[in-house]
Structure 1
Amino acid sequence: MSAFSHSHNPSTSTLTAGFRLGTSGALAPTSSNGASRPKSANLVPTNSITTKDGVTVRARIDPTLTVDEVIKSLCLNLKIKDPAVMFALRDETDELVTNDNLRKKIKSKVGLKLVNAPALEAAEIVEKLSMKDDKTLRLTLFSLQKFIREGQFASEFLQRDGLRELLDVINISHGNTLAYALSAMQNLMDLDRGWSNLDNSFISTIVQILSSPQSLINVCRPATAILKKLVEADPLSAPGPVLPSTSRSPPSAPPGSVYRYGFDVVYGQMRKEKGLLETVVTRLGSADTAMVLYSMMLINSLLSHATDARWEEFIGELERLNVRKAVIRLMSSHTIEDLTSCILDFQVNMVRVTYRKKTSPVEPDVNPAHYDALEEIWHASKLEEHVAERQWSLLGFASDNMYDEFGDVGVLGLNCLKQFSQRDSEFFSEVVLEQLGRAEERRCPVARASNEVVELLLEHWAIFAPGYSTSTTFQPFFLNFYKVHALALKFFLHMWTESGSSVDDFPRIVALTRSQLHIALNEENSRAWHEVENDFLEAEYRAVRDRQMKELEEEDDFMTKVPVRNLRAKLYKESYEFVRQQRLQCLMQGAWFVNAIPLSSPVPKDTDNGMKYIHFCDSSAKFPVRNGLEDLPERIDISQISEIATGTCAAPPHVLRDQNDLPPPTPLTPSPLSFSVLNAAGESLADQIAPDQSRWADWTDALQMLRKDGGHMASQETAGFVQALTEIGLKIKLLDLTGEKVDIPSGLVAGPPPNNTDFFFSDLDS
C-alpha cells in the first residue's frame, strides 16, 4: 500500500525523513548510507503542559514511557486528585497523543494539554446528541467531526450507542447541522469498523439528500463521500487474499465486518431515485472544486466495483449521460491541479470498459439490446426501401452470423457502427447506396472497414487487457472514442474512393489508415480537436501514400500483423507486472527524503484499503538504518492513505543538501520531485522531495500501483520502462522466426471441427 512524513514550519530546522515499507509490523532488512547518528539523540527535551485549570508547567518527559505512564506521573506531581484514567494528552492542535506519536511530539517540543480522556469526551457528546437542540447539536457535531477520527474515542463512542444517536440526527437535520453530522459519519466510516449494521433506509436517506436540488454543497460533499465508501465496502474488497480477477463471487463477510455493502446495494437504492446519477454527472461542472472531486471519486468507485449483474445497465446509463464529455471539459479546467489524479483514474476505468466491450460477444438472439442495435443500423442504411429481405452482405458483412462478424471487436464494434450510422444517418445511407451502385469487386465493405478501424484504435491506445494502462497524461481523444472512430472510418472510405480500390486492396487502405491515425492522434494531450478533424477529413490520398511509403522503408510491416500484435499484448502485460514488482521492491528497501513545505491544502481523493505500514523517522542527518524497527519508530497506516499527489510542495529554505542529491532551492515554487501522501479527509500525512528523478518515479508509481484497482502511473519514466521492455521482448521473441525466415500469417483460420469425439491429445516427445 503506501505512506510518508510530515511538513515542518519554515522557521524550524528542516529534517530529513527516512522511509521504508513494512508488512504487518515487520520490517524488511536494509541499510542506508550517510552520516553517523547524532550524539544528542539521547537528550530529553522539555515540553510545556497545560492543565484543565489553565496551569502551565514545564516538564522533561522520558520518551521511553507510555502515555498512561506519563499521565500518571503528571497527576502525581501536580497533585491532581482525580484518577489518571480520566485524563488524556492532546497537543496544541487537539490531536490526541498516543504511544505511536508520543516520541515525536516530545522530540519536537510540542506544547501539550491535559484534557478529558476519550471515554469522558464520548459520554458527554453522546448525551448532547440525544438532546436534539439545534444549537447544542451544531457545537457538538463540530467537535465530533474531529474526535471521531481517533480510534480510542471512536471505540468509546460506539460502545455508548453513539452511532444510533448520530443516525437519528442525520434523519431530522438540515443545513449546516446536517453537514456536520454527515462529515462526522464520513470520518467514522474511514475507520472501517463500527458501521456494519447500516440498513437500506440509511442508504436511501443519503441518496435522497444527494438528489435534492435544495441540498447545500457542504451537505452534498460528505454525502457523496459516504455513498462512495459504501460502494467500496464490497466483500471482494475486504482485507485479505486478493481474489483472481475472473472471480466475481463475493465471499461472505464475517460478523461485524463493514464489507457487506458494495455496488449492488448502493446502485439498487440509486435506481429508485430517478435522476441521481444525472445529478452526480451534472455536478462535474460545479464551480466548487471539492464537489467536482467528490463526484469524480464516486463515479470512479462505481465504475471499479460494478458487478456483472448491473454492469451493462450502469455503463449504458453513464454513456447516455455523456460522462466522458463532462470529464473532457474538466481536462481544460483551471482547477485541474486538484483533479488530475481522479481524471487519470477515470481514463483507466474507461480502458477497462472499452476492453470489456471489445471482449463481449454480439448475440442478437439472446440479448435484446444487440438485436435493437442491429435493427437501428439496418434502418439507418435505408436498404429496406430497395431490397425485400435483409441481406447483411449489402452493408459489407461476409455473412449473416453477427457473432462471428463482430468476433474480434465484440460489442464495442457494434456500438461504433451504430454510433456511426446514427450520428449522420443521411451520410451513412448515401455511403451504403453508393457502394451498391459499383461493381461488386469495387465495393468497400463498410461494416468490415468499421470493425478494422476499431481494431486500429485499440492498437493505437494499447488496450490489450483490463487494468493495464501506462498513460501518464490526459487522453481526450480516447474518451471521444466514437467520434474518432467516425472520423477514421470516413478517412478510410475517402481513401478507398480516391484510390479507386478494389476488394484486394483492403489491407493497403488499412495500412494507410493506421499511418494516418498515428499522425492525427499524436500529442493527444495538447492538440486541438479541429486539427484532428482536419487531418482525417482534408487528407489527400497521394500525400498520405507518399508518407506511408517512407514509413515502410524504416519499419517492416509484418510487425503489424495480428499474431505479432497479440504477442505484443501478452508481453506488455508481463512487462507491466515486472516493472510493478521492481517499484514495490524500492519501497521495501527504503529511502531518504527531504521534508517539504506544502503549498496548498489538497482536496480528498480515492481511498485504499490495506494491512501494511510505512515506517519512518525524522532526522537532521542521514544515518545507517539497522534491521528491525528500532531506528524507524514512527509509522503511517496504509489504510489511511487516500492519494499520492505530485508537484505539491516546495523545498524549505536553508536546506543543507548534497549538491548531487537535490535540485537547487526554489522557495515556494513546487518542486518537480515533490509528492504528498493524503488521507481521505484531504490532510497531508507527508510532504516529501525525492533526491532524484529515479527515486521520485520509483516511489510515486509504486504507491499508485499498490492500489487494488492498479491506479495510474505518475511518471513517464515508468511508462517508458514498460514500453521498452515490451519492444525488447518482442524483438527477442521474433528473432527465432525472422532468423529462420518463417512466414508470419496475417491471421489464422480455424479448420473444420472434428466429426466425432473419438480422439485424444498426446504429449509429443521433445
Structure 2
Amino acid sequence: MDSINVSELVERLGSDEDAVRKMAVFKLQSNIGDPSFADVFILEGGLTKLRYLTLHATGNTLAYSLASFSRLLEVDKGWEFVNQDLVERVVDLVVTHPLVNILRGAMSILVYIVSHPYTTSNMISQPDSFGFRALEPAMAVHPQFLEMLVSRLSAADHALCANALLLINSLMREAITNASEADWAKFVKRLRDLGVTEAVYALMQSTALQDLSHPLLEFQALTKVLLRKWRDVPVDLEKPEHRRALKGIHLASNPERVTTPVDDGEEGPRKRHNPEKWRRLGFESETPAWEFDEVGYLGMKDLTEYVRLQEDAFQKLLLEQSTKPAEQRCPIARASLAVTSILCEHFEVEKADVDDAKFQLSFESRTTLDKVFKPLILQWPLLHTAGLQAFFRLWQTTGAETEDFMKIAELVRILLEAVVGGATRVSDVHEVEREIRQFELARLRHLQMEVLELTYEGHWGHHLGQIRDELDHEALQFVKEQRIRCLLAGAWFPNGHGHDGDAGAKQGLNPAHSTSQRYAKLAHNRRFLHYADFDIRSDEEPNLEGLHKKIDLTAAVVTSNVSTSSEPNSSTTTLKATHDSVPTRKITIHGYLPSNSRPASPKTHARAGSAVTKTPRKQVTLLTLHPPTHSLAVEWLDGLRMLLNQQSITNETEKLIAMVRDYGLKIRLLNVRFDDMALAGDAPEIPSREGLDEDYYYDVFGN
C-alpha cells in the first residue's frame, strides 16, 4: 500500500479512457485482498467506481473488475453494494459470455453471495440479497443458468471448472440448509437431471484431482449430507410423493387381483386386492410405512429406483418366490432396506458434514488424495442394486429361510465392505458391480471368519491370546499323536539303495545280504522301533514278534534328505523326489550302538596327574528308511522327530497343525454358550435320566 497512491488509483478508475481504467483495475486486483488496503479504498470512494465498472465494463477491464470485486467480498467487505442489479449482471455473464477470465470472476462473486451468512441486519435491510434467494429472480430470467453451470464442469480450464463446482456446492448447501423439504429436493433433482453427478464423478477419477480437490471434496461431503437428509425424512403416506412412490412399487410388481364370490344383489364377481398386497413384496405387514423408520425416505427412493431399473427382473423374482413355501421366500423389500442401511454405514452417512472439506485438505501426496475421495458414493443407486442382487443370490445359494435374514444381511455387509471398500479412486463402477456379482461364497465365508476373529480380538484380545496358546498346544499334541499312530501301524519301505550306509549293518545288526523290502513298526511302549528285511512284501503285516531287530529311540536323532524351502531361514521344508523309479526319499536314524556290539575302547593317558579316560562314544547311522510315497515320508519323518520331541520340519505337518488350531478357534467363536442362551429367557429344562440304563448308543450322524 505504501507504493500505491490509493487516491490516485481511485481517480483513474473513473477515467474516460478505457486504457487508464484497465491499468488501474489491473493493479487493484492484486492489492484489494489486503483488508487494510480495502478499508482505505472504500474510504476513498473507490467501491462505487468499482461497482460501476463491474456493471458496464467489457473485455479485460471487466475481467479485472470482477476479480477485484470478488476479492473484496472474500475479505468480507463491500456487501452494501451487492443488490439485484449486480446479481443479474453476473448471472447474465455466466450464461452468455464465452471468455474464461470473465467467467471465473463472475462465478466467484456468485459463490460469495450465495455463501454469505444470514445476519440479523442483513435479513432486515436486504432480505433477498444473499443466499439462494438472491439468485432466484436472475435464474427466472435465465432458465438455462443451471444447465450452463453444469456444462462448465467439463471445461478444459481447471480454475473455471473449480469455480463452477464451488458455485454448485454453494447453491446446494444453501438450498439444503434454508429451503423447505420440497424446494431443496426439487432443486437437487433438477441438478441431477442435468448430469451434475456424472460430471463430478468423472472429475473425481480424472488427473485434475489436485487442482479441484477443495470443491470435489465439498461435493462429496454434500452428497453425504443429502443422503442423511433423505434418510431423516420419515415416510408419510399423507404426502403425495411418498404415496405415489409406494404405489409405483406395487404397480411395478404386476399384481393380480383376487376374485371374490358374488354377493346377493350384485351382478357379478368382484376383483379385490390380494390380502397379502405388501407382504407379497417382502414387507412384514400390510402397513409398510413404519418399516422405513430406520432408513426413511432414502430407503423408499432406493427401492423405487431398483424397481424402476430392474422391473422385469423384479417381476420374475416375485413370480419365483410365490412358488416357494412362505418361510423360504426372500423378503425383497426388507432386503432392499437392509442394503440401504449397510451402504449408509459403509460411507458413514451419519458423520456427514460440509465442514469435513475444510480439515481434510491438508494433503501430503497424491496417495493421500486417493484415500480421501470416495467417488463410488456418487454411484449409490448402482451400488444398492448390486448389493440387493447379491442378497438374492446368497439367499438362494445358502437355502436361507426367514429366520436367517440377519445372517444373509451380515454376509452382504462383509461383501460390500470387501469390494466397495477395497475399490480405488479410479475403479470403474461396472467392474465393482461385476465383482459383487461374481464374488465366491467360499471366499466370503473366509472373510466372515476373519471379521469374526477381529471382532472378538478387539473385545477379548487377552482371552483370545490365551485360547490360541491353548489351541496351539492342543493342535500340536493332536497332530503328534496322529503321526505317532502311523508309526504304530507300521509300514513297508523298499530297499532299493541297500543298507550299506547303515553302521548297524556293519556291526551285525543288519543281515549281510541285500533284500528288497524292509518293514518297520513302533513298539507299543513307543521306545523301540522294530524292523526286519524281507525278500518279498507279504500281504499280511508282520507282527512285532516277527521283527527281530530293534532300535532304542531314547537317544536317537532323525534326519532326512530334505531341501529347505525357497525362503531363506524357513522352518518349513519339502522332501526331495526325482523322476527315477528308485526312491530317493531317505530318513536316517542316528544313535549309539549297543554296548555289547561296540569294540573295546582304547585307553589313553592324559597329561601328568590326570585320570585315565575313555574315548567318547560317537553317533552312527542305525537305520535308513526309503519311503515310497511323499505322504508316507511326511508321516514317518515328522512322526519320528515328534516322538523324540524334535521340531517337525515338513510343510504339510505345519499346515495340518495350523488347520487344526484354526478350526478349533472357529468352533469356539461360533459356539453358543448355555449362559448366552439363558440371557434371552428362562433356562432350558435339563433332561432327566430316570429310567435310563446302560443299553443306549450315540447317533453320531443324526440331526
Q: TM-score, structure 1 length as denominator?
A: 0.52
Alignment equivalent of 2:143, drawn from 257, 264, 274: 274
1:125-140 matches, cutoff 5 A: 125-128=12-15, 131=16, 133-140=17-24
Please state if 1:264 is matched with 2:150. no
Report the equivalent of 1:404.
290
Instruction: Calculate the aligned-residue CA RMSD, in Å.
Output: 3.2
Where 2:305 maps in the other structure, the secondary structure is helix
- Of the three residues 104, 107, 111, the one matched with 1:221 is 104
Gaps of 5+ in 1: 1-95, 98-112, 239-250, 560-737, 746-766
Structure 1 distance, partners of 2:382, 2:232, is 21
Larger Rg: 2
Shift of 1:455: 0.8
In structure 1, what residue type is equivalent to 2:179? D
Q: Deviations over 1:227-284 (max 9, x none)?
A: 000011121xx6xxxxxxxxxxxx4438899996123323554355223222222211
In the alignment, structure 1 residue 325 sits paired with structure 2 residue 213: no
CA distance in structure 2 between the aligned counterparts of 1:415 and 1:172, rounded to whole angstroms:
47
Q: In the alignment, which residue of structure 1 is the partner of 2:328? A: 442
Match in the other structure for 1:476: 375
Contact map agreement 2:83 2:129 (CA 8 A) in 1: no
Superposed CA deviations along residues 526-550 of structure 1, whole A, max 9, x for unmatched, are 4443442232112344543354245
Q: State the match for 2:649 in structure 1.
A: none
Q: Whole-Å Cα distance in 2 between the matches of residues 220 and 402 of structure 1?
A: 50
* Equivalent residue in structure 1 for 2:62, among 164, 172, 178: 178
User: How many angstroms does 1:211 deviate by?
Assistant: 1.7
- Once residues 398 and 300 of structure 2 are traced to their aligned partners in structure 1, the CA distance between those partners, rounded to angstroms, is 27
Given that 1:234 and 1:263 are in contact with CA atoms closer than 8 Å, whether structure 2 keeps it comes out as: no
Is 1:356 the equivalent of 2:256? Answer: no
The verdict on how the C-alpha distance between 1:271 and 1:153 changes in structure 2, with shifts beyond 3 A counting, is same
Output the CA distance in 2 between the equivalents of 1:258 and 1:371: 36
Question: Aligned pair 1:119/2:3, yes or no?
Answer: no
C-alpha change, 1:439 and 1:522, in structure 2 (3 Å) is same
Structure 1 residues 466 and 264, CA, compared in 2 at 3 Å: closer, same or farther? farther
1:485 equivalenced with 2:369 (yes/no): no
Give 1:462's match in structure 2, choosing from 344, 348, 355.
Answer: 348
Query: In the alignment, is residue 509 of structure 1 matched against residue 408 of structure 2?
Result: yes
In the alignment, the residues of structure 1 paired with residue 419 and residue 36 of structure 2 have an alpha-carbon distance, to the nearest angstrom, of 58
Q: Percent identity?
A: 29
- Indicate how the Cα distance of structure 1 residues 541 and 155 shifts in structure 2: closer, same or farther if over 3 A, else same: closer
> Which amino acid in structure 1 is aligned with residue 254 of structure 2?
K
Query: Residues 409 and 455 of structure 1 are in contact (CA less than 8 Å); yes or no, is this contact kept in structure 2?
Result: yes
Task: Say yes or no: does 1:345 pair with 2:218.
Answer: yes
Deviations 1:585-606 (A, max 9, x none): xxxxxxxxxxxxxxxxxxxxxx
1:695-730, Cα deviation, whole Å (9 max, x unpaired): xxxxxxxxxxxxxxxxxxxxxxxxxxxxxxxxxxxx
Deviations along 1:717-756, one digit per CA (max 9) or x if unpaired, are xxxxxxxxxxxxxxxxxxxxx9x979998xxxxxxxxxxx
Does the 8 Å contact 1:119/1:153 carry over to 2?
A: no
Considering fraction of residues, name the structure with more helix. 2
Cα distance in structure 1, aligned partners of 2:39 and 2:219? 36
Identify the residue that residue 425 of structure 1 maps to in structure 2: 311
Change (3 A) 1:403 1:273: farther
- Stretches of structure 2 that go unaligned for 5 or more consecutive residues are 259-270, 361-370, 460-672, 681-703
Which one-letter code corresponds to 1:431 in the other structure? L
The SS at the match of 1:456 is helix
Please give the alpha-carbon distance, in whole angstroms, between the structure 1 residues aligned to 2:302 and 2:457: 27
* Segment of structure 1 superposing worse, 194-203 or 438-447: 194-203
Q: For 1:647-658, list aligned pairs within 5 A.
A: none
Paired with 1:403 and 1:272, the residues of 2 have a C-alpha distance of 41
Identify the residue that residue 230 of structure 1 maps to in structure 2: 113
The answer (yes or no) to whether the contact 2:51–2:81 under 8 Å persists in 1 is no
Residue 423 of structure 1: CA displacement? 1.7
Question: 1:624-660: CA deviations, max 9, x gaps?
Answer: xxxxxxxxxxxxxxxxxxxxxxxxxxxxxxxxxxxxx
- Give the Cα–Cα distance (whole angstroms) in 2 for the partners of residues 177 and 556 of structure 1: 68
**Equivalent pair of 2:128/2:134 in contact (CA under 8 Å):** no
Among candidates 307, 316, 327, match of residue 189 of structure 2: 316
1:400–1:261: structure 2 CA closer, same or farther, 3 Å change rule?
farther
* Alignment counterpart, residue 369 of structure 1, candidates 241, 256, 262: 241
Superposed displacement of residue 400, structure 1: 4.2
| Alpha-carbon displacement from aligned partner over 1:173-232 (angstroms, at most 9, x marks no partner) | 3333322221122122123123224222321221121122x4311111111100000011
Deviation at 1:466, TM superposition (A): 3.7
Output the CA distance in 2 between the equivalents of 1:437 and 1:180. 72
- C-alpha spacing 1:252/1:428, structure 2 compared with 1 (3 Å): farther
Local SS of the residue matching 1:364: coil
Structure-to-structure mapping, 1:48-127, within 5 angstroms: 96-97=1-2, 116=5, 118-122=6-10, 124-127=11-14
Give SS of 1:342's match. Answer: helix
Secondary structure of 2:423 counterpart:
coil
Task: Name the count of aligned residue pairs.
Answer: 434
Residue type matched to 1:344 in 2?
Answer: L
C-alpha separation in 1, matches of 2:61 and 2:256: 63
How far 1:149 sits from its partner (Å)? 3.2
The residue identity in structure 1 corresponding to 2:8 is L
Structure-to-structure mapping, 1:590-605, within 5 angstroms? none
- Give the partner amino acid of 2:298: L
Alignment partners' CA distance in 1, 2:214 and 2:423: 18
